[in-house]
Amino acid sequence: MASATERSFINKFLLTSADGERQVDISAGVAGDFYFYEDIFSPVMTAKTLMLDTGRTRIDGDKYNESFMSALPLKTGENVEIIIENQRNQTLNLSLKVFEASQVFQQDDKNLVFFNFISPDHFKSESTRVYRKLPAQNTTENIRSILVDDLKSDVEFRGSPSSSAFSYQGNSRKPFTVIMDIAPRTSSEENGRSAGFFFYQTREGYNFRSVKDLIDQPITETYTYGGTADDVYEPKTPFGRQDPQKRILKYRQVQTDNLNSKSMFGAFGGKRFNFKPSSDGLDPDANSTFDYEDFDATSFFGNATYEPPADATDLKFTRQYISIQDMQGLTDRLNVNFDHSIFDVQGPITYNSIFSQILNITVPQNLNLHAGNTIVVNISKAGCQFEYDEKLSGKYLIKEVCHHVTNSRSYSHLLIVRDTLGS
């Protein structure tokens, strides 16, 4: 009987000094678990692990009786190349930089060192500023331009078509800061009244994706929780005999809905007040209100339509927004560059609705899973493994994925979300 959680192997863990002069192979020094993360709310990828430094480090083919921290010397900012392969012939190939390195334990000639790693473009973004004014063109193309022309990144980019087109002044801010500011103001080409994009990085590259695009994409994988600890499901279960690699090892329901937090963050609607530089004070526009009934999303993870609880209809306007009218000058005779009247309120509805239901699941390691993928989960009812739990089962979006390697087993931990209850 095959095991669902087989071991992965660290084939390469190569540290290169910031000046490129020295290299240290520390693949044999991984003393604790290794974690690699992707998140649809993060423009970079991260990883972390514990390293055992015995003072007998191989550097550039020679053996030194000293620690790798002193032999490099390790100052953070070093390049690291990591190759991990599991028994399904899947490979995790990473090129990262050392973000943090700290000694957590020392005994005799042994040092235990904690490492944090991050995408190289993080440091490039921290040291780069967008001074120029972005043209009034499709925002997806402006994002591509920031990555290529300002960040000078060679990472592949994939963007959803956008209906938004407005000029944007960089104001000497960091590239990732500018991109994350533009994302909530962007609406999809197919659904112009559903603002809110995600910008994030996976091993496949940068992604600038609309909620609609993420929902409508093909399903990556299907996983089943049958309430049994066996490696292979019993034929008597409603799921039949299952591939042990498609098994949910454990799950935890993080959230189904939170009326209080949703109302606080404007999930059901809001009202916007506009400040015109050419006039005095606030100008509450008659068309500045926007609620879930105006929300023109056409795709949902479940069959239900997004709406608040029946007794929450008075929560449509629990949040107010104040914005300066974005003109191409300081007079009303010029055209409005960007209209906040809808998008300020649409964005919170989009982002809050997608997190109506949240699950934490652990599955056998699958390195083909990425943040932003969609999966289907089939979960049996509590106390009755012969029936599906229709409120928990169905299609979900992977908000965050953590590929986890231990000395004996390998896992993928997924935080999955969706906008409706039930399949």
Asked whether the predicted pLDDT for residue 385 surpasses 90, the reply is no
pLDDT, position 333: 44
What gap in Å lies between CA 389 and CA 368, rounded to an integer?
A: 27
Contact 350, 211 (CB under 8 A): yes
In which band, very low, low, confident or very high, does the pLDDT at 285 lie, cut at 50, 70 and 90? Answer: low
In DSSP terms, 183 is beta-bridged to none
Reported as type and span, the H/E element at residue 416 is: strand 410-418
Determine the pLDDT at residue 196: 81
Q: Which residue has the higher pLDDT, 371 or 241?
A: 371
Give the whole-angstrom CA distance, residue 20 versus residue 17. 5
Confidence check: pLDDT of 29 > 60 = yes
Least confident window among 1-5, 64-68, 271-275: 1-5
Structure tokens at 261: 């937090």
Structure token pair of residue 265: 């963050």
Name residue, tokens 């620690």.
67
pLDDT reading at 259 higher than 80:
no
Q: Please, which pLDDT band fits residue 390 given cuts at 50, 70 and 90?
A: confident
The rounded percent of the chain whose pLDDT value lies above 90 is: 36
β pairing state of 8-16 and 23-25: antiparallel
Please name the amino acid found at residue 360: N
Higher pLDDT, 314 or 376: 376
Most confident of 271-285, 331-345, 406-420: 406-420
Identify the residue with better confidence: 384 or 170: 170
pLDDT of residue 332: 45
Q: Which residue has the higher pLDDT, 331 or 14?
A: 14
- For the stretch 319-334, pLDDT in tens is 666 566 555 544 444 4
SS3 322: strand
What does the pLDDT read at residue 298? 46
**Three-state DSSP class for 175?**
helix
d(CA 352, CA 347): 8
Instruction: Give Cβ neighbours of residue 240 (< 8 Å, ≥ 6 apart).
Output: 233
The predicted pLDDT at position 268 comes to 64
Q: What pLDDT, on a 0 to 100 scale, did the predictor assign at position 341?
A: 56
Task: Give the residue with greater pLDDT, 45 vs 2.
Answer: 45
Q: What is the pLDDT of residue 324?
A: 60
Q: pLDDT tens-digit profile of 108-164? A: 667 788 899 999 999 999 999 999 999 888 899 999 999 999 999 999 999 988 877
Beta strand extents in 40-187 (DSSP E only): 46-53, 57-59, 62-64, 79-86, 91-107, 110-118, 133-134, 157-159, 168-169
**What would the mean pLDDT of 248-266 be, rounded to a whole number?**
72
Separation between Cα atoms, residue 10 and residue 330, nearest integer Å: 59
What is the average pLDDT value for the chain, to the nearest integer?
78
Res 230 pLDDT > 60? no
Residue 374's pLDDT is what? 96
pLDDT at site 267: 59
Residue 112, pLDDT score: 82
Residue 307 burial by Cβ neighbours in a 10 Å radius (0-12, 13-18, 19+) = middle
For the ranges 1-15, 325-339, 378-392, the lowest mean pLDDT is seen at: 325-339
DSSP class of residue 49 equals: E
- Angle, CA 135 vertex, CA 122 and CA 44 arms, to 5°: 15
Sign of the CA dihedral with 140 first, then 141, 143, and 144 last: positive
Which position has the higher pLDDT, 202 or 188? 202
pLDDT value of position 365? 95
Torsion of CA 300, 305, 307, 311, to 10 degrees: -140
Would you give the end-to-end CA distance of the chain in angstroms?
A: 32
Q: Is the pLDDT of residue 226 over 50?
A: yes
The domains found in the chain, sorted by start residue, are 8-120 (2.40.10), 259-353 (no CATH)
Residues 6+ positions from 345 with CB-CB distance below 8 Å: 266, 269, 270, 271, 272, 289, 290, 319, 321
CA Rg, the chain, in Å? 25
How many Cα neighbours within 13 Å face the side chain of 412?
25
* pLDDT value at 234 more than 60: no
